[in-house]
Structure 1
Amino acid sequence: MKIDITIIIPIYKNEHVLNQCLNSLKKALLKSKLSVEYIFIVNDPAFKKTLYIFPKGANIIFNTENLGFAKGINSGAAHAGGNWLLLVNADTVFKPSSLAEVQPYLKSKSTAMIVPKLLNKDGSLQYNLIAEPTLCNLLIEQSYLYKLLPEIFRHPQSDKRLYKHSGEVNFASGCNVFINKKVFKDLGGFDERFFLYFEDTDFCHRLKKTSYKIIYNPGSVMVHLRHQSHGGNFPVDKYTNSLFLYLCKYHSRSYVKLYLIFLLLGQTARYFFLSVTGKLHAKNNDYLKGLFTIRKFLLS
């Protein structure tokens, strides 16, 4: 039987949300005419005890250590039989029509990536379109101009107008996206040097150099609980490591140094502002860890 979509779900300390994700997926499949297969990438050995929650016939790949998102997805894609890949974060709840809404795009020969509309748990918009890390975008972000004047800067992390209509976009988060398997393999999949974060930005960067399109489709709606797929904490060190890797991959050493200087200044100013206003709280360690990591790369 022809398989339309291979659903790849990495598993790491997220068994508490996986059942809800799979149940919502089952309901969404009932409203579509899609044939699917499941591949689970288990990066947490302790998870073996809960085998019963996996759908019948699922391909389960157990790893003795956490391989990271990019390497995990690549290993799943190597076993995929579907024409498309759906990269699912386990902390996701699918709306009933989320899969049916993408069906027309799956037949497009010019589309390589379909990006759904993501909502937070409270129903508010989750900004899953992203801006490439450039000096220009950094200055807009660190100065908060993108939030103060969203109608002027049209930044994907603040301008809600960008999320109202379907159309071609340049960069998007890899969270719950559909990717054409052939294009994914032709481009070499995700760069496995990115353990977590920026593997999606890097893939979009490479995809932009081809004739294929990245399509945002707000008709396909999913609720993403955020950070529950890796234990509930934001790993700022991994984020900063991947940012540095991305910058080095596409820019000169002087460009990277300048970027890090502005980033360090902006984050330091934000740290002191949050400290003075009493809004730092639990983020204290995250900010300090981020500042020390940026400083480490700046001095390297």
Structure 2
Amino acid sequence: MQKIIDTHIHVWNFDKAAYSWLDGNTSILNRTYNIEEIATERKTVGITEGILVQAANNLEDTNWMLQVAENNDWIKGVVGWLPLTDTVATQNILEKKYGEEKYFKGVRHLIHDEQDAEWLLQPAVLDSLKLLAEKNIPYDVVGVLSQHIETALEVAQKIPGLKMVFDHLNQPPIKSKEKFGVWGELMKTASQHKNFYAKISGLGTASGDGENWGAEDIKPYISFMLENFGINRCFCGGDWPVALLAGSYSNTWNIYTTVINDLVNESDSSKIFYSNAQRFYNL
């Protein structure tokens, strides 16, 4: 059986951490989501391993994810949060708190919620990102604007040793069906940097079509990324529970596996589903 790492799973617990982006949210997302809720479904679709990804810019969220990882043997890593605007604090936390933590595998900040699209270019943040590069800790870029890609490109120039991945492919223009516009040009540029990776995730919600999206809607964008980034720098994530806004966990994964298995052979798909993520996150 083919092994699959879901590189993008969220858990949030209102008793453990504050999730400011959910304040006043009236969708199905505004409640606690525990990992046990996908226990059966993830086996049904063949997910063998998983990575938890931060959902709040605070250490409480990261600590909760690390606790969940410790208690669920199929979870192999956590993409946590660090106070990147405070380089000294970031260094102290890495050295004294998370340095020896076996599940701490990456860092992310909710940059798409920041007013400044160039948030990553602050001097202190860049200094913190240099620390990550020195320790071979990758960074997840969660962007939604073309400026977020442009900013990431500047970071890559300033810190060429930092491994970065574009979460949700930085919102390709699936909704407008544009092929591929400014997004495509910027992604082509990004693909020239060997330390940029692409996370095939969040495409159901990016389609803007509720539960009515399917393989043909996202196939051109996945094909484009595979063509530009290559077979060795792409991997997949389910984005549960956010992806529930566009249908079930099973449906999301069934569509991804259908598209990828249609585009590449079994040897290449095993890289996209498993070994690329294993290498990127140092699992």
Shorter-chain TM band: under 0.3
Who wins on radius of gyration, i.e. which is larger?
Answer: 1
Q: Which has the higher strand share?
A: 1
State TM-score, norm by structure 2: 0.25
State TM-score, norm by structure 1: 0.24
Greater RCO (CA < 8 Å, at least 6 residues apart) = 1
